[in-house]
Structure 1
Amino acid sequence: MPFHFVPGIHPPNPQADNESTGSAWWFVFIGRQLVLQQATLTPLQVRALAPLGLDARRTQYLGQLNGQPCYGAELPEDSVLPPQLVARELRSLYGVLANDWLDLAGLAFQILEWDRTHQFCGHCGTPTQAAAAERAKRCPSCGLSQYPRISPAMIVLISRGDDILLGRAPRFRPGMYSLIAGYVESHESLEACVVREVQEEVGIEVANIRYWGSQPWPYPHTLMVGFTADYAGGDIVVDPHELTDARWFAKHQLPDLPSEASIARKMINWFVGQS
């Protein structure tokens, strides 16, 4: 199906009246699992969740998808799904769902997580209220506004001729290596983050840092910003708190790599394809 998504914060009609406004797209989560129609492994397209026996503890309007309302919803952890529905961990759906579906599911997951974790003002503790004109939580007492959180992180492909530097984190599946990555600190540029993280994690110096691309990564609110860099000197010294191993690999003799859906894999594939 064609995808035309228009973000929004105000539903066209109150959700209570959704029975009379036609079907809507629902990105429904139980924890980190996305609820799908079992027969098609696609998000729910229904008028409302209640007729399915689903009682959402929070919902957020996301916008219009192909002219139909689009919502995110969170169910209690002990919810029992009807037999025509199935719940799958969101990360496991890369390569199963179309990228457009995954993008909207990621948006829904991030907005629901923000809604859940910003019920109270971080300054004075007063219950927050939804802002009228923007997606924000506003404190009626002190006026503090809290927006959906985005945590920028850099990821860098370091090359030395036809070799590429890859590291292995303790959380990776056996045998898997990936690019060096890390979160940006306060008052730090993305380029400075590249230099610092590389020095901290593998002890080498880099030069010619260049922007490659970016990818939202909703686990739960990261924005991955990709760079390439050239090896500039030093020996690999692994930080054991971050990595279990790091080494140079020839670009045509690579180990097990991250999912094709990740920016890390996209960058590695791009490098391998360079003449």
Structure 2
Amino acid sequence: MKYHTAPGDPLPHCAVFSVTTLTRRFPEPATVPAGALWVLVSGQGVAIRDGDIPQIYAESGPSPAVPVTGPVEYLGHRGTTPCYAAELPEDIPLPEGRVIVGVRELYGRIPDEDVAIAAFAVRMIASAKASRFCGRCGTKTVPVLTERAKRCPACGLVVYPRISPAIIVLITRGEECLLARSPRFPNGMHSVIAGFVEPGETLEHAVHREVKEEVGLVVKNIRYFASEPWPFPDSLMIGFIAEYAAGEIEIDNNEIVSAGWFGRDALPPLPAPMSISRALIDRWVERGNLRH
């Protein structure tokens, strides 16, 4: 388990998708070494060897029976062993004994470290596919072996994997917290306010703007909580806790379809435990329990 704890805070956040068990060694190998581990990617999932203890790694990579038509991406070293991601073609049978499982569905079935690597593999394959051609001149890009990037051999543009910063904030008012529903959520589920940071904004400005836009409230005393690389598809979630300052709830009926104040003993269905949104709510609940 990988924990991130603010100074003086005994209640940690487990950043499930933080890749801490791979070390990046640059320059990366010019060719894939023998004995490398592979994560075989298909869409938003990976091909696992199913069983009592599912396994995301393949000790032999793509072969004539499992050809690769898409990118191959160096992920890093797992101990002394290099690890790669490759995309499986959609129109061929899976390797024997393997099934495709979405990254979210892997949570709780395999160690968090492997969930993070599976998500990272999916993310890097998607990034490679999105940067195959230069956005400035259209030339096919080539890998940069000395860092995680692609370079245009014609105009020299260097493209790095996209990271989209987003704020996520728990708002408290006395012994209540604000929870809201997005139209994308499963039936009944509520969560905290979140949104992407816009160009020219600070993180704090983004908190104020998103809260005002989505639920019409003014907040104060914004405090950093923790962060989480959220690979759906490329967010970095930066978590905060804030206090209600003024205003009445006015939902935007776009990002939010309902919102309300909830006490600790009357919470609605919540996000999955793997999420930073759930970590924010759990932290607030547990902090309240510590006072009693």
Bin of the TM-score, shorter chain as denominator length = over 0.9
Instruction: Kindly state the Cα deviation for residue 82 of structure 1 after the two structures are TM-superposed.
Output: 3.2
Tell me: CA distance 1:270–1:106, structure 2 relative to 1, closer, same or farther (3 Å).
same
Out of 43, 57, 62, the position equivalent to 1:44 is 57
Give the drift of 1:13.
Answer: 6.7
Matched, 1:156 2:173: no
Q: Which residue of 2 aligns with 1:55?
A: 67
Deviations 1:41-95 (A, max 9, x none): 11123132316x3222221111110221111111122232134101111112222
Distance in 1 (CA, whole Å) between partners of 2:143 and 2:96 is 35
Equivalent residues of 1:30, 1:79 under 8 A apart? no
Taking the aligned partners of 2:227 and 2:23, their CA distance within structure 1 comes to 21
Residue deviations 1:11-49 (CA, integer Å, cap 9, x gap): 44722xx4xx33x32221111111101123111231323
Q: State the identity as a percent.
A: 43
Question: CA separation in 1, counterparts of 2:26 and 2:84?
Answer: 10
Answering whether residue 23 of structure 2 is matched by residue 6 of structure 1, we say yes
What pairs with 1:185-204 in structure 2 (closer than 5 Å)?
185-204=198-217
Pick from 270, 274, 292 the counterpart of residue 257 of structure 1.
270
Partner Cα separation in structure 2 for residue 92 and residue 114 of structure 1? 22
Deviates more, 1:74-83 or 1:219-228: 74-83
Query: If the length of structure 2 is used for normalisation, what is the TM-score?
Result: 0.87
Residue type at the aligned position of 1:224: M
- Tell me the CA shift for residue 100 of structure 1: 0.4
* Of 120, 142, 161, the match for 1:129: 142
Q: Bigger shift: 78-87 or 260-269?
A: 78-87
Note the residue ranges of structure 1 that are not aligned, 5 or more in a row: none
The 3-state SS of whatever aligns with 1:213 is: strand
In the superposition, relative to structure 1, how do residues 132 and 217 fare at CA in structure 2: closer, same or farther (>3 Å)? same
Q: CA deviation at 1:4?
A: 4.2
Partner of 2:17: none
Structure number with higher relative contact order (C-alpha < 8 Å, ≥ 6 residues apart)? 2
Match of 1:141 in 2: 154
Q: Counterpart of 1:220?
A: 233
**How many Å apart are 1:237 and its aligned residue?**
0.3
For residue 182 of structure 1, what is the aligned residue in structure 2? Answer: 195
Among 262, 274, 280, the alignment partner of 1:267 is 280
Q: How do 1:228-247 residues align onto structure 2 when only pairs under 5 Å count?
A: 228-247=241-260
- How many angstroms does 1:173 deviate by? 0.5
- How far apart, CA to CA, are the structure 2 residues paired with 1:178 and 1:78? 38
What SS class does the counterpart of residue 58 from structure 2 fall into? strand
Number of the residue aligned with 2:47 = 35
Considering only aligned residues, what root-mean-square deviation do their CA atoms show, in Å?
A: 1.6
Q: 1:132 to 1:10 in 2, by over 3 A?
A: closer
- Which residue does 1:209 correspond to in 2? 222
Distance 1:143 1:273, change over 3 A: same
Gaps of 5+ in 2: 1-19
CA distance in structure 2 between the aligned counterparts of 1:4 and 1:102, rounded to whole angstroms = 11
Aligned residue in 2 for 1:78: 91
Mapped to 2, the partners of 1:79 and 1:192 lie a distance apart of 49
Give, in whole Å, the separation in 2 of the partners of 1:252 and 1:25: 47
Q: How many residues align?
A: 267
2:21 and 2:113 in contact (8 A); partners too:
no
Q: Secondary structure at 1:239's aligned position in 2?
A: coil
Distance 2:57 2:23 in 1: 18
Secondary structure of 1:45 counterpart: coil
